[in-house]
Amino acid sequence: MLSSAVVGRAAAPEAGQSSDRSNQEIVQALKDLRSAITAPQSFPEIARVRTKQIEFLRGQGKFPDFIEVGIDTWFGVYDWHVRHLQPIALGRDPNGRYTIAVLTTTLILRVDSDQNFIGVPFDTAR
């Protein structure tokens, strides 16, 4: 009997420490979640495309209709849509090249260019 009472007392602090550790992990997870929600969002997958769109917007007062891009840029944009649960608008242009929409701009896949290529933005009347 005495031995079970001693063992019971010895186990109690471990259970309390485990509970404290669990509580600290929960608190830390909540802090991480709050930081993720309130932090400014950066999207490295589309940052270079967005920069080209902004440059065009400042000069022309509107977003470009089209930007030609390489394979890596194309898949980065596609992956961004998937990761952020955005609708994916895929298509083909009259020349049979693949297209994907980003905001109001259509990206045109140029398989013959450098993989990280991002062309000069342009409008329909080129």
Q: What is the pLDDT of residues 93-113, one digit of tens each?
A: 999 999 999 989 999 999 999
pLDDT of residue 126: 55
For residue 2 the two structure tokens come to: 């005495």
pLDDT of residue 59: 96
- Answer for the pair 109, 98: CB distance below 8 angstroms, yes or no: yes
Owner of token pair 């009472």: 5
The number of beta carbons lying within 10 Å of the beta carbon of residue 10 is: 9
Q: No. of H helices and E strands in the chain?
A: 3, 4
For residue 29 the two structure tokens come to: 């997870």
| Proportion of the chain above pLDDT 90, given as a percent | 65
pLDDT mean over 8-31: 75
SS3 content of the chain, % helix, strand, coil (to 5): 50, 15, 35
Question: Which has more pLDDT, 123 or 40?
Answer: 123
What is the DSSP secondary structure assignment for residue 118, as one 8-state letter? B
Give CA–CA dist 70/57, Å, rounded: 22
pLDDT of residue 99: 98
